A and B are shown apart, each in its own frame.
Chain A
Amino acid sequence: MKVFQNFDVLKQSLIKVLQVTVVKKQRPVNLQLNTISFPPSAIASILHRISGVGMFVAMVFIIWAWATALNSSEGFDLVREVMGGIIGKIITIGTISLLIYHVIVGIRHVIMDMGHWEELKAGNTSAIVSFILWAVSTLVVGVVLW
């Protein structure tokens, strides 16, 4: 009888091992990003990261412009000239746009820290509202500074 009981235990554990291996094999190894749908809240999140990294890169230009304009009158004129050019305008408006986005979605993040807009629907709505606020303010800044 003991032998049969042991056999039963062995059989059960063997089935378990098989199940685990099968489940593991069915798991996707790589996430295929183009097959996954991104809700607005996910897009808001990834853009928040991109805008942050973008500003870190743009800091070279910001710090240079700020410091050069402070150092001397000639430097101030140079920065004015550079920021008046097409590339300078694109960098300036682009950086301000990144900052606006990062701040808007950052405030949304803090509001979510406090326990609001955490549901699926509210999260997506607040993300879309953030996009609209960003687009409008970027448009205003772009028109004023161009």
Chain B
Amino acid sequence: MVTNQAGLKRNGVQDFVTLRATAFIMTAFSLYMAWFFISTPTVTFEIWQGLFASTGMKVFTAAALVSIMFHVQIGLWQVLTDYIKPVRLRAVMQYVLNIIAFAYMAYGLFVLWGV
């Protein structure tokens, strides 16, 4: 039992819930963006910037960006553990891909901050 706890074990229940909770946020964001593009006849720079200038939209976008990172972390772990058998290669790939996922999120937040 002790060795089990000490290993690099993941919590399946938490992964399950996180995957779906983040999926819900991203789906809501996608639908909102789709509605924005459908309901706006011509998207100009002012309208585009105005959309992300409001605090509410900033929070929504930040939630979507953070969701992308967590969702990618779990999803890529699932895919990598199924297809990449060598442990070291998988660990390196997971490390690099998770850094990229983090970079997407961090870059997005900094851009959002500046609007």
Residues of A within 8 A of B (CB): 49, 52-53, 56, 59, 63, 66-67, 69-71, 73, 76-77, 99, 103, 106-107, 110, 113
Contacts and interface: CB of A to CB of B under 8 A. Distances in A.
Interface residues of B, number: 24
Contact of A56 (B27, B44, B101): B101
Interface in B8-66: 20, 23, 27, 30, 44-45, 48-49, 52
A73 B75 contact: no
Contacts of A67: 107-108, 111
Contacts of A69: 45, 48
A63 B104 contact: yes
Q: Please name the 6 residue pairs, one residue from A and one from B, whose CB atoms are nearest each other, closest first.
A: A76-B45, A67-B111, A73-B45, A52-B75, A59-B104, A49-B79
Contacts of B108: 63, 66-67
A63 B111 CA distance: 10
Classify the secondary structure of B's interface with A.
helix
Contact of A113 (B20, B44, B97, B100): B20
B99 interface: no
A61 to B, nearest CB: 11
A56 B76 contact: yes
16 contacts: A49-B78, A53-B76, A56-B101, A63-B107, A67-B107, A67-B108, A67-B111, A69-B45, A70-B48, A70-B49, A71-B114, A76-B44, A76-B45, A77-B45, A99-B30, A103-B30
